[in-house]
Amino acid sequence: MVNWLEEPKARVPIWLSGDDERCESEDGLELSFVPPNHYRLRSGDVVILGGEGRLAYHGVDRIHPSTSALLNDGGRINLTLRRVTKPPISLHPATLPQSSADMRSTQKWRGRSISTFNTAEDAPLEEGFPVWLAREIRANTALYGSILAFVLATWLLATVRGDSFIPFLQEYFARVVRALLITCCLITIVLGIRALAQGRQQSPVANLVGSLKGLAGSGLPVRYVYACLVLAVFMAAFLYNKMLIPEIAPFQWDATFARLDFALFGGHHPWELIHPLLSNAGATFFLDAVYSSWVPMVFLFWAGAFASPRVPERLRVRFWMATVASWVLLGLMMATMLSSAGPCYFTEFVSNVTSPYAGLNAYLADISNKHLLSSTWAKEILWRTYAGEHNLPGGISAMPSMHIAQVALFVAFAYSLNRRFGHAMLIYAALIFVGSIHLAWHYAVDGIVGAAAAIAVWWSCGIVLSKEAVGAVSRRGSSA
């Protein structure tokens, strides 16, 4: 990317020339809340920001790999040149050559001149979904290969055992539909609020409809749905394997984890410490709602990281890699080695011991009798599945807490993007942790171990990606 800034007094246009892989650029008016415009650029393009757009913020949102042969291992070259003397000729877009062979388009948007020249071979700016998907899979072969191998191995295992894998796919496809509905509602609400805020300039309804049409035509919804489907297939395979944990390793660690909790928290069980603050219907319903939001949040983060042009490719790959590794290494392997059911099922698996969670479970039952808690309903479904009363997909496992492990990855991902976003997700993680104890899903050590292990996985994935980047540079140097 070559930035040629003509000075003085910022009255002549900014030239941006691309000598790198295809990228997506954005611009927005300085010191305003105008949403950015997105433009797809490729190597050899020239963009001019003139007029009011001369003072617009502009930048690159995303680099599309394998779209240019200029750099052996891909990437972007950025060079900024600045003129500090008066230019000898006018460089306003209107004075530049307008032949179709040299310039692809000139657009006007709210007083801004956006000119895009093409010095490379003529080709459409937008690419079809199949082409984009093929490049995405080629760029992340190891990640997709790991997911595919896990799913195929699970399907083979189910076939050998005489089980059907279809119900697990149906369960997670249903979750995808629910998550998409929630996402659509949230997007509509946000765009509606923004349309109302800008109602003085344009009809709120027209503004909202225009925003929704623009979003639908941007390609982001297709990518979001695709990412949700990938996660649904992977999680269906995970759920099938999770249901096998009690067969491989019967629940036997609950008493140990209860004693460990008691020792770590000064001779008290953690729920006893927080119960005086939370033993009211309002607090319990709130934590139940937050805890129930976890499943849609998993899909939102996974697919949002994939679809959003604001998420760097390497960060998105790291999040996907850490998520897949955490669910397999922690949610299956560690969960099998430390097989436990959780405080809500303590009396079912620990005999000859008075349950230290009897008071908590009695309180939750009383609250649920007045207004059904979603956690109470979920516990009943999971227990009936475990007892063989029906064949619905669902598995019991407490250690480590994958709710906490996943929100720990949310926090790490969010802080990598934005500090405020990180703070918000840290608060969400704290609520999930408190809710896991107050709702009798987990021992405190479940969450502590889950968070620590997930951060270790996140850190390890960062090292792996760094080594891959160094190896790519070394290969490029040796080939040169």
Spell out the SS3 assignment of 127-181. CCHHHHHHHHHHHCHHHHHHHHHHHHHHHHHHHHHCCCCHHHHHHHHHHHHHHHH
Strand partners, 80: 3
For the whole model, what pTM was predicted? 0.74
Cα distance between residue 389 and residue 255, in whole Å = 26
Residue that has been written with the tokens 């982001």 in this structure: 220
| pLDDT tens per residue, range 139-180 | 899 999 999 999 999 999 999 999 999 989 998 888 888 888
- Better pLDDT: 51 or 430: 430
CB 270 within 8 A of CB 436: no
- Give residue 56's pLDDT: 67
CB 422 within 8 A of CB 315: no
Q: What residue segments make up the domains of the chain, in order of their start? A: 2-118, 128-248, 249-382+398-480
Residue 89 has pLDDT above 60, yes or no: no
Nearest by Cα to 168 from 246, 242, 240, 247:
240
- Give 99's contacts (C-beta < 8 A, 6+ positions apart): none
Question: What tokens appear for 56 in the block?
Answer: 């617009």
Residue that has been written with the tokens 């998993």 in this structure: 298
Mean pLDDT of 305-318: 90
The amino acid sitting at 447 is G
Question: What tokens appear for 460 in the block?
Answer: 């390890």
Residue 66 has pLDDT above 90, yes or no: no
Question: Which range scores top for mean pLDDT: 38-47, 78-87, 110-119, 235-244?
Answer: 235-244
Percentage, residues of the chain above pLDDT 90: 51
Question: What tokens appear for 431 in the block?
Answer: 């609520």
| pLDDT tens per residue, range 353-368 | 899 999 999 999 999 9
How far is Cα of residue 434 from the mean position of the Cα atoms in its chain? Answer: 23
The reply to whether omega before 400 is within 30° of 0 (cis) is: yes
**Terminal-residue alpha carbon distance, the chain:** 23
- Angle between the 220-242 and 294-307 helix axes, to the nearest 10 degrees? 130
> Among 230-234, 295-299, 470-474, whose mean pLDDT is lowest?
470-474
Residue that has been written with the tokens 């939750």 in this structure: 364
Other beta carbons within 10 angstroms of residue 228's beta carbon come to 25
Question: What tokens appear for 239 in the block?
Answer: 């759920």
- Give 240's contacts (C-beta < 8 A, 6+ positions apart): 154, 157, 158, 163, 165, 168, 393
Mean pLDDT of 83-89: 53
> Among 9-13, 53-57, 309-313, whose mean pLDDT is lowest?
9-13
Cα distance between residue 60 and residue 58, in whole Å = 7
3 state DSSP class of 21: coil
Helix (H) or strand (E) holding 430: helix 419-438
Mean pLDDT of the chain: 81
CB 330 within 8 A of CB 400: yes
3 state DSSP class of 409: helix
Other beta carbons within 10 angstroms of residue 120's beta carbon come to 12
Strand partners, 103: 117
Cα distance between residue 435 and residue 407, in whole Å = 13
3 state DSSP class of 275: helix
Percentage, residues of the chain above pLDDT 70: 72
Burial 354-388 (b: 16+ CB within 10 A, else e): ebbbeebbebbeebbeeeebebbebbeebbebbee
Cα distance between residue 104 and residue 117, in whole Å = 5
Question: What tokens appear for 41 in the block?
Answer: 């650029």
- Better pLDDT: 260 or 25: 260
Q: Report the relative pairing of strands 2-5 and 79-82 from DSSP bridges.
A: parallel
CB 474 within 8 A of CB 73: no
CB 18 within 8 A of CB 1: yes
Nearest by Cα to 378 from 297, 301, 444, 288:
288
Cα distance between residue 463 and residue 451, in whole Å = 19
Cα distance between residue 262 and residue 270, in whole Å = 7
Residue that has been written with the tokens 């392997």 in this structure: 333
